[in-house]
Structure 1
Amino acid sequence: MAKATADPVAGTTFVAPRQALALWPVLALIPYALVLWILHGDLGGVRPADLSLQLYFSAMLLYLAGMLAYFIYFAYRRESFRWLGLAVVIPGVALHLGAIVARGIADQHYPLANMYEYSSMLALVAVAVFVLMSLRYPVAALAGGPALFVAVTLMGIGFGLYQSPEPLVPALQSYWLKIHVTSMMTASGILVSSFVFAALYLVKDRSLRRVSAAAGSAVRSRLPSLETLDRLTYRAILVGFPIWTFGTIAGAIWGEHAWGRWWGWDPKETWAAITWMIYAIYLHAHGMRAWRGRRTAWIATAGFVSILVTLYAVNLWIVGLHSYARGAG
């Protein structure tokens, strides 16, 4: 027996298996049980570095469970699955924060000194921002699956770049580490949401422009309206861009303290400036009605690609003053 559910966005009806949907309270217990299994040992006797990794993987597991719940919510529009997603993702955020705190204890310094720690913080902020946006704008929950997929991917990349706890290199032994790097990671995490909404805008826009009326109808009917996706993209950038601006200025001040110059066209500085210009162009273009929509969505997507280049490509493959961020191995 199946139960028909109405789509509040498009007014269409989907059919969901009643038995499968009725199991959601039971399904919610599965990721919790797996997390308890991961953390079953005597936490008091675990080294901070090992505890950090346990919490890291526990958070990743809960994010994966939340991603599945949000994809089901996207398909069937059952509110129970939206709340299930929140029920597993919010504890995941708490565990993830615990992982970062434990990592800081293991490091004996602020845990933002290498690519693993950057990726962890970036994913945490991205998920936290998504949770806040979905609570403030419930329609944003429809992007939960892609948003958590991006966060889990970042965590996977971070673990692939894992560095054991080690002392700070001299260049990072400054209070500006907390100010500059935290602001850049916060801005980047917020701008992850703008990328997700912009990408979904482009997906829906393409489905609307396809020749066949039937082609792409499923995606078209389930996604929010183009206006809603554009508005969510804009609001995320409106918050993230000033923080990126502040972080870039803080980096210039730190550069003057550490290297005796405000700006030296180091690859990291150059790409941070390129990213800033892309988002500045987005905000300017969004104010022009003729550019608002598909063009600004592409600009927002380009901005996220530039962030990835700034945070990963420059640190890993381009030699510069910021090369220490890749870690010592």
Structure 2
Amino acid sequence: MSVDESLASASNALVYSAMAVYTLALGASTMDLAALGDRASARMRKKQQGKSQQMSAGVAGGGGTATVVRTSASEEPISLAEDGASRKVARIAVSLTVLALLLHIGGVVTRGLSAHRAPWGNMYEFSVTGTSVVVLVYLLVLTRRDVRWLSTFVLAPVLLSLGLAVAVFYTDSAPLVPALQSYWLVIHVSVAFISISLFVLAFSTTVLQLVQERREIKRAAGETLGAGRFMEALPTSTDLEKLSYRLIAISFPLWGFTLVAGAIWAEVAWGRYWNWDPKEVWTFIIWVVYAAYLHARATGGWNGRRAAYLSMAGFACIIINYVVVNVFFPGNHSYAGIG
């Protein structure tokens, strides 16, 4: 079938519109983080003043030896980001994100309709569709837990990926190559989208975990924390690590299904379940790294920084598999559509 150029143009316009609204949402979420930092600082100052007044009252009224109860310097920061408070700017950010996602999905759907197929036949389409799934999964998580504090760290990589898609990976809408004309395209790639989306959320959470842990160590040592006041409002490094672990635990079996489904599709398309294609190898490497993470986390007692580094290694493998392998390593999966 011929490509419907009007729908292809409409898809491009919707994607650009979504990027513009995502930018506004990113700005609003960043403002919300700054406001959280101000609230956290004000609460900590008030808390310190209260302690000082109690100490002064104890010394003045004791008439003798005053007993002063000291609070540990390693006391965990108060998490204002999940206290359920209504934050106007945060609500605006979420509303803008929903609007941007609707435009984004519209761009994905019209791209598929323009070529009469599933809209993930090359790197441009995979990037555009994949980022929409990332935002959708984030909003679904938001219905179960107040993670609006994560918005900035979701929208920023989404915008970066969309920028690369339109500036570097863009490919005109066209029919699928013969090897991709299979129902396995929908099964294999759609599950991969969901899995990678969860890995993205876990990666963002892990980065915040490492930053928070460093701040907690400095606080315990009595050092000045410096910039990043918004971190005082976020959950503790332990809570962030637990959230990242849960996201990976959900995503891992989906990635395993992606690997198995890809092998089945390979047998249908090329007559062999495994061809040692670079894409196949790196998909398996990703599975091994995250399997090692989950095993070490569950049975080896690995947590905190060591587990975080292993999790980030897994995400680095995803980036290599997506960008480096697709662009620089030709093979059976050379469908990038660029270069």
TM-score normalised by L of structure 2 = 0.79
Give 1:234's match in structure 2, choosing from 214, 232, 245.
Answer: 245
> CA offset at residue 179 of structure 1?
0.8
Contact 2:117 2:175 in 1 (8 A): yes
Give 1:282's match in structure 2, choosing from 293, 305, 311.
Answer: 293
RMSD of equivalent CA atoms: 1.8
Gaps of 5+ in 1: 1-44
> CA offset at residue 164 of structure 1?
0.2
> CA offset at residue 273 of structure 1?
0.3
What residue is the counterpart of 1:34 in the other structure?
none
Quote the Cα distance in structure 2 between the aligned partners of 1:245 and 1:289: 22
Give 1:151's match in structure 2, choosing from 158, 163, 187.
Answer: 158
> CA offset at residue 209 of structure 1?
2.7
What residue is the counterpart of 1:317 in the other structure?
328
| Aligned residue identity for 1:281 | A
| Aligned residue identity for 2:165 | G
What residue is the counterpart of 1:58 in the other structure?
17
Contact 1:75 1:222 in 2 (8 A): no
Alignment identity in percent? 36
| Aligned residue identity for 1:103 | R
> CA offset at residue 134 of structure 1?
2.4
Contact 1:96 1:124 in 2 (8 A): yes
Quote the Cα distance in structure 2 between the aligned partners of 1:148 and 1:288: 34
Quote the Cα distance in structure 1 between the aligned partners of 2:102 and 2:25: 14
Going from structure 1 to structure 2, the CA distance change for 1:220 and 1:55 (only over 3 Å counts) comes to closer
> CA offset at residue 328 of structure 1?
5.9
What residue is the counterpart of 2:33 in the other structure?
74
Deviations 1:258-300 (A, max 9, x none): 1111112110000000001111111112214731111111122
SS of residue paired to 1:326: coil
- Mapped pair 1:120 → 2:128: yes
Contact 1:208 1:216 in 2 (8 A): no
Quote the Cα distance in structure 2 between the aligned partners of 1:93 and 1:86: 10
| Aligned residue identity for 2:117 | H
Contact 1:107 1:165 in 2 (8 A): yes
Quote the Cα distance in structure 2 between the aligned partners of 1:219 and 1:274: 36
Going from structure 1 to structure 2, the CA distance change for 1:264 and 1:130 (only over 3 Å counts) comes to same
> CA offset at residue 244 of structure 1?
0.9
SS of residue paired to 2:321: helix
What residue is the counterpart of 1:186 in the other structure?
194
> CA offset at residue 219 of structure 1?
5.0
- Mapped pair 1:135 → 2:143: yes
Contact 1:59 1:92 in 2 (8 A): yes
Contact 2:134 2:200 in 1 (8 A): yes
| Aligned residue identity for 1:177 | L
What residue is the counterpart of 1:201 in the other structure?
209
| Aligned residue identity for 2:8 | A
SS of residue paired to 1:287: helix
> CA offset at residue 70 of structure 1?
1.2
What residue is the counterpart of 1:255 in the other structure?
266
Give 2:235's match in structure 1, choosing from 210, 214, 224.
Answer: 224
Per mean C-alpha deviation after superposition, the further-off stretch among 111-120 and 140-149 is 140-149
Give 1:101's match in structure 2, choosing from 100, 106, 109.
Answer: 109
Deviations 1:132-188 (A, max 9, x none): 2223111x2112111110111111111121000111111111111111111112211
What residue is the counterpart of 1:266 in the other structure?
277
SS of residue paired to 1:144: helix
Show structure 1 runs of 4+ deviating over 3 A: none
Deviations 1:234-274 (A, max 9, x none): 12112211111111100000000111111121100000000
> CA offset at residue 222 of structure 1?
2.9
Compare CA radii of gyration and give the structure with the larger one.
2
Deviations 1:44-81 (A, max 9, x none): x9810111011111111111111111111111137111
Going from structure 1 to structure 2, the CA distance change for 1:220 and 1:97 (only over 3 Å counts) comes to closer
Contact 2:169 2:338 in 1 (8 A): no
Structure ranking higher on relative contact order (CA contacts 8 Å, 6+ apart): 2
